[in-house]
Structure 1
Amino acid sequence: MKSPIISFLAIFSVFAIVFAETHTWWYEANWVEKNPDGSLVNPDGNFPRPMIGFNGSWPLPTLRVKKGDRVQLYLINGMDDRNTSLHFHGMFQHGSSQMDGPEMITQCPIPPGETFLYNFTVDQQVGSYWYHSHTSGQYGDGMRGVFIIEDDDFPYEYDEEVVLTLNEHYHEYSEDLKHKFLSRFNPTGAEPIPANLLFNETRNATWEVQPNTTYLLRIINTGRFVSQYLWMEDHEFTIVEVDGIYVEKNTTDLLYITVAQRYTVLITTKDTSDKNYAFMNRVDIDMLDIIPEDLELNGTNHIVYDKDLPLAEPYLLDSIDDFFDDFWLKPLSKEKLLEDADYTITIDTQMDNLGDGVNYAFFNNVTFTMPKVPTLLSALSAGEHATNELVYGTNTNSFILEKDEIIDIVLNNLDTGKHPFHLHGHVFQVIERHQAIDDDQDPVAYNASDHAEWPEYPMIRDTVYVQPQSYMVLRFKADNPGVWLFHCHIEWHLDQGLAIQLIEDPMGIQNSSTQQLTENHKQICSKVGVPIEGNAAGNSTDYLNLDGEHLQQKRLPTGFTPRGIVALVFSCLAGILGLVAIAFYGMQDINDVEERVARDLDVDLEDDEESSSEIMRENSSTGNSSTQKR
């Protein structure tokens, strides 16, 4: 006789399949110059410029599904001069790693004119997510949108849902900014400074509210660079979800949100509508190398109770240091700290210059360099060699994870800036984050024998920031076979190479029918000219032979090169000859020197001599001679 519990689960699964919906979307990515009303696209109101939209419209649409639903999104590359891709940020992609989106990691890039089908099931995830191009620079140029997974069993009461996106905006195109950024003329690696902050893809936005109403506000930082502070005049946020994870309620009046993070909050409005209030956002100025005079650090938006009343004035805070620390959030599920790690990955973050003069980002002295074959395709084609990290290249920072291992990522930040790190395919427990260390002190690294006490119920999310010159420890279970990127979500830093890749249960990937390349995927690879088999060097006959792989630039030499020695010798000789010339001419007798100087200064030498004699006579008679002894 079958167990009643098993029977119930079977019935529940059948109902879930019956009621699950398939969402089919066709979107063409292209540059959008005009809005539907004919006006020019002008996100910050100061500078019209094209943005990358879908089907001739920008901003991109908000996509809504429910857990268990199927997504079939046909992405057509309508741009004629560049490849593209799409990543559903925060989606686990169980059994569908090839739908994750990072080009040359899990898929071949989509060339102009071609269509890629993103086909996956949402599983049991719920909450606030977003989608964006995972091709360099494109989501900074507008290819970004909100992805909501609705939950019929949402654990908290509210009246109405609202979506809020935060990001920064540049007037220049990303490819031009990247060219200037990754340049020997930018040796410090100073990131491009935004022109403005955006609030729901605009500035000075208004939010019309009703009195005595509880709003569920989904806040998503879809930016590529700066973290933002967020606060309201005389209102509070009650946090109920972060990165798709429900949490116990926490109320605060000041949020700090890095790029790629999501906060879902409850906001209850006032009983009366006799005043409108300011809704403020502010850039984290510690992330900017310079602060231009024309950059508005505070964005003033408006909570409007009565549109006939004046809008609120800016509401500034005396201090923004007391923002809510997400480390103390507890998951509503009461998920306890996972058992001790089976495998610890320790990575040190730093920035430095290589031989071409460009400033790069490094994990363990390696800056991520793209393989010639997407890593997932190498795992699928490498056979028994798939468990050998060498297959995936020496410049990709690749780590093999065994099925169901408990993994710790210990990240030591040797850099003086904050970094928001995102893990694809998983959420992680944040079990320790050390405080920031000042620039004038040495960085502090994790010490396994001397660290803070870890929480019983750690905060869980998929994007978290590490403090300057400090460290953090993240823990998760390797229960999702696939290839997953772990990277800084400041896109400038990803462009610099701040990434590792985790090849999780490679034999499980090979043995899964749902992980095999779709025919559409194979066609895309063929069109763009990328092999579907082979190691990181494109070698499909000897997977341990990496001859010809892409490598990072050579390091700067520790001493003088022969060319430098020659340059130094000639510089020294030139300097010595210059000194000799000065000394030679300086010691020469020059005839009639007084007359020459007087002529150059246009002075009458005879008059000058007479004046000097008169002055000497006066000094002698009065006792004021310059030779008088005192």
Structure 2
Amino acid sequence: MALSFLLVIFSLLLSFARAGTRVYNFTVGWVLANPDGQLDRPTIGINGQWPLPRIEATVGDRVIVNVKNDLGNQSTSLHFHGLYMNGTTHMDGVGGVTQCPIPPGSSFQYDFNITQAGTYWYHSHVSSQYPDGLRGPLVIHDPESPYADLYDEELVLTLSDWYHASMSDLVKKFMSVTNPTGAEPGKFTWFQYTDPFSALMNDTQNLKISIKPGRTYFLRIINMAAFAAQYFWIEGHTFRIIEVDGIYHEPAEASMLYLTAGQRYGVLLTTLNETDSNYAIVGSMDQDLFDQIPPGLNPNVTSFLVYDESKPVPTPKEIESFEPFDDMHLVPTDGEEPYEDPDLVVQLDVVMDNLGDGANYAFFSGITYVQPKVPSLYTALTTGDLAADPTVYGVNTQPHVLGHNDIIEIVLNNRDDGKHPFHLHGHAFQAVVRSNESAGDYDSALVLNGTVQLPRQPMKRDTLLVRPNGHAVMRFRSDNPGVWLFHCHIEWHVESGLIMTFVESPLTLQRTISIPADHLSACTATDPAWPTAGNAAGRTESLLDLSDAPKPPAPLPDGFTTKGIVAMAFSILAGLLGTGVVAWYGMSEMADLAREQERVSVAEEAENAPDTDTDTDAQVLSRTNTEASQSTPLLGVHDRAEQYR
């Protein structure tokens, strides 16, 4: 007993000795970048550079990130994707939820402790900003990793999609009556834009990675995309999956991965003993996400494992089909069985539809997210006992108030034709059910009668793919007081409202969280200032009165459908084009008539002129008729004159 106690004390002292403070000073501003070699475009960099620096720490460290916003024209924030932020929900970095956005010219400090290991990333969580460049890798090292003795070196690879137009311009077009079907930029969207975009690896293309033969690398792969999932493989090699979204799993052999936006994998890659060839590393965007392939799009990005720099790099081979590893087969090393008897079941039915402004919105069970006037965390901290009443957060944040240490089940019915990656802040979840495409809504009776078998030890992660017209069931334990979003990680769907809010143990938050002064200063420095207290409508009295809370556009009038809007939009477009053609044609005809009248007048003068001037007048007439034949080759002089009689 005494020996065991001493070992625990020694372990704690050792961890304290290892712990340190990592400080990052980031000035966020505009730079020019051209990662795909096609276009220089304004990009959001840090400290005058892009790609962005990697944030690294070790389990037990304290991390401080000092952010100065030098963008000049945009507010910003930093979210640390996948970190639970235990005890520091106010550091989660979500503008309008856990903080006010950082306005231009202001500074802001993120300060949190690292309690988990794994592969993560950081990005802006304000106004669909991160695809403009504000995203980078975040790696947490683990001296106690169960796989620490199985690899020699670490490598980090990021995948992403790259837009040539700015997000502010693209979002205006995306959330518009001119895009009633909600087609994402990068798809062929009938008349307004076909933004060509590229796939990137480590924010470039044709990257060469020098490796040594017969060694094992811990390869961390992160998809930082706004939209496109990617298939990933290395020609001539397989690898062993040991981590997904920061969670250790039992090793699983794979030759191809599928990573949605927001997902991460950690794999062990053992290199070959022979060095007579180099090999392609391939990322390929999932074209099933696209309605139509944009002109000029190359869906693939290629890098290379270089065994011998004197040898050429290969051309990637064509493959007949994509057959990625199914992550539902993974087994966590913690051996945890499915959580049973949920205390709360949250059913979310995904639908994309139009509202009264004609734009296409995304809905969870009939509700599209609208940002409140007061960040939801600040509402939880300033509304007293009513913080436990979801009403104060506003219906359009879709709030669910959770008790402490409850088992929460999310039933996700995807009634949309597209794939969606769903991400939970503040937690990882057990993925207990995921259907095939077109399986329809989840039926719990199939689990109860044994038709659907739950995995004995369900895979865990924080971002999960849900297939078109299919369903998924996720479970987690509410053991982390805070305000946490659950949302689709396709950035266009975030913009269109596919978000809901978990408010976890709000009365505990009131006793344990204190908002730093620089966080509150970000609110008051904004014009107009953000309220920092009260309900979603900004009221500090009559807290259940949400009449002034932000709302979405009104519903469509009865009888209007998406098809009807598309038809109307095309009709309007056709009418405008038709009017333009008629106007252009009419102006052209009137100009031709004026020229014809001039020619008739010249001809009459020529007939009445003296003989001595006949040749000159004939030359004038010849020149006029020559001009007429050049400008209107299908109609002669007399034909044109007859047309206007």
Q: When the two structures are superposed, what TM-score results if normalisation uses the length of structure 2?
A: 0.83
Alignment-derived partner of residue 397 in structure 2: 396
Instruction: State how far apart, in whole Å, the 1-side matches of 2:287 and 2:375 are.
Output: 37
Asked if 1:180 is matched to 2:187, the reply is no
Is 2:106 the counterpart of 1:114? yes
**SS across alignment from 2:353:** strand
1:142 maps onto 2:133 in alignment? yes
- Alpha-carbon distance in 2 for matches of 1:7, 1:444: 56
Structure 1 residue aligned with 2:521:
523
Equivalent positions of 1:65-76 (< 5 A) are 65-76=57-68
Q: How does 1:473-484 map to 2 (within 5 A)?
A: 473-484=473-484
2:184: which partner in 1? 191
Structure 1 segments, 4+ long, off by >4 Å, are: 2-8
1:83 aligned to which of 67, 75, 81: 75
Could you say which structure has the higher helix fraction? Answer: 2
* SS across alignment from 1:175: helix
Once residues 213 and 68 of structure 1 are traced to their aligned partners in structure 2, the CA distance between those partners, rounded to angstroms, is 29
Q: Does residue 1:19 correspond to 2:18, yes or no?
A: yes
1:443-497 deviation line (CA, Å, top 9, x unaligned)? 6111111141111100000001101001000000000000000000000000000
Contact 1:229–1:281 at 8 Å: present in 2 too?
Answer: yes
1:404-456 deviation line (CA, Å, top 9, x unaligned): 1000000000000110000000000000001001xxxxx61111111411111
- Residue type matched to 1:533 in 2? A
| Count of aligned positions | 551
Deviates more, 1:486-495 or 1:264-273: 264-273
- Mind listing any 5+ residue stretches in structure 1 that lack a counterpart? 34-40, 438-442, 572-599, 603-630
What are the residue-to-residue correspondences of 1:129-528 with 2, within 5 Å?
129-156=120-147, 157-193=150-186, 194-320=196-322, 322-437=323-438, 444-451=440-447, 452-512=452-512, 515-528=513-526
Q: C-alpha distance in 1, partners of 2:206/2:28?
A: 28
What is the deviation of 1:4? 6.0
Which of 81, 95, 103 in structure 1 is aligned with 2:95? 103
Give the 3-state SS of the residue equivalent to 1:557 in structure 2. Answer: coil
Q: 1:543-582 counterparts in 2 under 5 A?
A: 543-559=543-559
Preserved CA contact (<8 Å) 2:201 2:207: yes
User: What's the counterpart of residue 542 of structure 2?
Assistant: 542
SS of the residue corresponding to residue 395 of structure 1 reads: helix
Residue 315 of structure 1, CA deviation:
1.6
Q: Distance in 2 between matches of 1:9 and 1:373?
A: 45
Q: Are 1:393 and 1:546, in contact at CA under 8 Å, matched by a contact in 2? A: yes
Deviation at 1:82, TM superposition (A): 1.1
Cα drift, residue 303 of structure 1: 1.5
Q: How far apart are 1:298 and its partner, in Å?
A: 2.4
Letter in 2 for 1:150: H
Change (3 A) 1:503 1:3: farther
Give how far 1:290 is off. 1.4
- Give the aligned partner of residue 32 of structure 1: 31
State whether residues 346 and 408 of structure 2, in contact with CA within 8 Å, keep that contact through their aligned partners in structure 1: yes
In the alignment, the residues of structure 2 paired with residue 134 and residue 497 of structure 1 have an alpha-carbon distance, to the nearest angstrom, of 14
How many Å apart are 1:8 and its aligned residue? 4.5
Task: Give the C-alpha shift of residue 153 in structure 1.
Answer: 2.0
8 Å Cα contact 2:402-2:505 kept in structure 1? yes
Residue-by-residue CA offset, 1:384-414 (whole Å, 9 max, x unaligned): 1011000000111110101110000000000
1:624 matched residue in structure 2 = none
CA distance in 2 between partners of 1:559 and 1:287 (Å): 29
Report if the CA contact (8 A) 2:276-2:308 is conserved.
Answer: yes
> Could you tell me how far 1:10 is from its partner in structure 2?
4.5
Root mean square deviation, CA, Å: 2.0
CA contact (8 A) 2:417 2:468 kept: yes
Alignment TM-score, normalising by the size of structure 1? 0.85
Partners in 2 of 1:384 and 1:402 — Cα distance?
14
Tell me the equivalent position of 1:609.
none
- Offset of residue 22 of structure 1: 0.7
- Matched to 2:405, the amino acid is D
Post-superposition shift, 1:270?
1.1
**Are the counterparts in 2 of residues 280 and 315 from structure 1 also a CA contact under 8 Å?**
no
Contact persistence 1:70–1:122 (CA under 8 A): yes
Distance 1:373 1:279 in 2: 46
Deviation at 1:16, TM superposition (A): 2.5
- The percentage of aligned residue pairs carrying the same residue is 46
By how many angstroms is 1:207 displaced? 1.4
Distance in 2 between the 1:264 and 1:15 partners?
26
Report the Cα distance in structure 2 between the residues aligned to 1:189 and 1:100, rounded to whole angstroms.
29
Mean Cα deviation higher: 227-236 or 4-13:
4-13
Structure 2: give runs of 5+ residues left out of the alignment.
187-195, 572-636, 640-645
Query: What's the offset of the Cα at 1:316?
Result: 1.8
